[in-house]
Amino acid sequence: MRDESFVHLRAAGTSLVLDRSGSGLPRVVHWGEDLGELPQDALAALALASVPQIAWNNVDVVVPLAVLPEHSAGWLGTPGLTGHRAGADFSTAFAVTSSRVEGGVVTVFAEDVTAELELRLEIELTASGLVRQRATVTSGAGPEAAPFSLSGVLLTLPVPERATELLDMTGRHLRERTPQRHEFTIGTHLRENRKGRTGTDAATVHVAGERGFGFRSGEVWGLHVAWSGNHRSLAERTHTAVALLGGGELLLAGEVALGAGESYTTPWIYGSYGRHGLDELAARFHDHLRARATHPRGPRPVTLNVWEAVYFDHDLDRLTRLADVAAETGAERFVLDDGWFRGRRDDHAGLGDWYVDEDVWPDGLHPLARHVRGLGLEFGLWVEPEMVNQNSDLARSHPEWILSTGDRMPPEARHQQVLDLGNADAYAYILERLDAIVSEYALTYLKWDHNRDLVEAGHGPTGRAGVHGQTAAVYRLLDELRSRHPGLEIESCSSGGGRVDLGILERTDRVWGSDCIDALERQRIQRWTGLLVPPEMIGTHVGAPRAHTTGRTHSLQFRAGTALFGHFGMEWDLTKATAEERAALAEWIARYKDLRGLLHSGAVVRGDHPDPALWVHGVVARDRSRAVYALVQVETSVTAPPGLVRLPGLDPDAHYRIAPLAPGDGIEGSAATALAWWAGGTTLPGRVLESVGVRAPVQYPERLVLVEAVRV
């Protein structure tokens, strides 16, 4: 009988080699660059060549690093499974009972007879080259046994010793996804989130890479936890020369207790590899999302959201005028934001009472919806169904529906509490209300907000921790609502960019990158959100000339050029814009409509420009026939004029005509006559454009110009 102890999965330039020999849990022999076709004997030789010697002053056997590491095997790093059964069975020793490989998915079944636990591991390599894995733990004990109190399940992927630097994200409200880099030293770099949502300061993708890696260079390995509740990720290096990335859900005390026959399944843990830098790592996430059957396929409509235009001041005449002007500029979707439901004149009251406010809207939203649709625009609505104001009819009628410890209320945040969707009655109420609103107004779009962290999130009268149940209930709610309304698009907004992960993106169509639409801040926010999310799923809006959140003033060219590289929209009182501003905005919208087929299907590229004051990013068509780049001066440079700027991602053997692209083709100041190639464009091979580049235009700080490359 042929020995199939080793599994070699290959996709999109990535190899994953698994060792299934023996009775222990599977080990990753290799995760990284494609190794080509290898027979079983070669895979066995690779595994043998990778076995380390026994470490001095350690256990007297070689310690294997399984995808779920176990203390019982001699592993003294962070364990893969933690928990106990009435204080016993704190350390598992799983033995594999069977495994199979079907359609590129490796499924392994194991059991710990002593602890009376069963384990199922699912490991696969997606078509885009992402490794993803999850585990299911089941209690096999009889009903007379104590439940198994599960503390956590951590799944890991090894990285080689040459990965000596770490990158992950931090941030806050209005400044999400700020990168931080440091040495990958011995010890554990742990990122934990206990906010009950993904978090504005989430690690997003935990990356290990070669020293000095960038967007276009250096080998990198990254891990993402696809979960919208509490979670953790870590990078760990031991003195025995083991380095790994790991992640999973962060379970609160007592949150999961497995009785007889009960199971817990982890979220998917994703691993992405880039042979040539972060762009390749990001492209695997983008390609994976784009390959889903639920991925939005049609042109992403130009969206007007009224929040920063009117805030809570809802008035039919004012809103219809705004819709008229928006339609004239080229808008395709109108979204009515917060303030349409009962008692909602500010953010102190009304959440939970999901009925149209009869005082403000005596005829309901129908007059506005009819007017908007008469202009040829879609009609969408803002909701925040997971939250409740204590000043609401709902909270007064059902205080037991609020997540709490049972004997006290958590501190309010943004004047609101969290509705316990793990409560069947609360869940049914919210589902009925959303279903009714979407049906009555034939909504095609919901902006689904989530504006606070979860504090002391317990299931009311029981006081039992409830973040896990809340997250699972939100997923069920989204799934059910979309099942009832197949054409409905949903945006994940959470104080802006506080819920951005692949768990929520399995159920939504875009994320709101940040409540800050200051174009300078958005350049960085969108740059790093793009490490996980493709442009068509990131809401990018043109705000007012003076940013509401920072007070900065930017030109329309900078604001619209920044919003171009995403799902374009507006959040600006256009009735106060000048005729010249509206005409210029209409030009940008027309350019977006011309480019969105490219921007929302091509490969995102970012240049590793040596001057930190000048950023280069763009999108290259899949066949590399066309590309659009933004050259963005984010601050003043130390030197002037700027040097050569390389344009990444083109076919090295093809020739391209490069030229400035209107309307982002203006160079302000004396530079208009100073750059030889700018006025008429020039033609160069792709290899030259990527390795040598062209002179960048001299720009004042906080300016942006567009460059187009077309294969000739």
Closest CA to 593 of 622, 571, 627, 568: 568
Residue type, 517: I
Q: Which residues are the active-site residues?
A: 449, 515
b/e 589-611 (16+ beta carbons within 10 angstroms → b): bebbbebbebbbebbbbbbbbeb
Contacts of 622 (CB under 8 A, 6+ apart): 601, 602, 603
Extended beta strands in 471-598, E state = 489-492, 510-512, 538-543, 567-571
Cα separation of 423 and 49, whole Å? 54
Contact 109, 98 (CB under 8 A): yes
Pairing relationship of beta strands 333-336 and 155-158 according to DSSP bridges: unpaired
Token pair for 281? 């790592």
Q: 387 by DSSP, 3-state: which?
A: strand
Contacts of 104 (CB under 8 A, 6+ apart): 9, 11, 124, 125
Strand partners, 245: 157, 235
Tell me the C-alpha to C-alpha distance, in Å, between residue 667 and each of 308, 639, 671, 693, 700.
30, 18, 6, 19, 9
Q: Where are the alpha helices (DSSP H) in 485-518?
A: 502-505
Tell me the C-alpha to C-alpha distance, in Å, between residue 277 and each of 38, 39, 102, 198, 577.
26, 29, 31, 25, 42
Residue with tokens 């206990």: 194
Cα separation of 449 and 165, whole Å? 35
Q: 372 by DSSP, 3-state: which?
A: helix
Token pair for 204? 């997003």
Cα separation of 477 and 355, whole Å? 19
Contact 704, 562 (CB under 8 A): yes
Element holding 424 (H helix, E strand)? helix 424-440
Cα separation of 498 and 511, whole Å? 9
Token pair for 121? 């591991």
**C-alpha torsion sign, points 337, 340, 342, 344:** positive
Length of the chain: 712
Q: Which one-letter DSSP state was computed for residue 140? A: -
Token pair for 85? 């059964």
Q: 362 by DSSP, 3-state: which?
A: coil
Tell me the C-alpha to C-alpha distance, in Å, between residue 253 and each of 147, 151, 458, 473.
14, 7, 11, 19
Token pair for 259? 């009785």
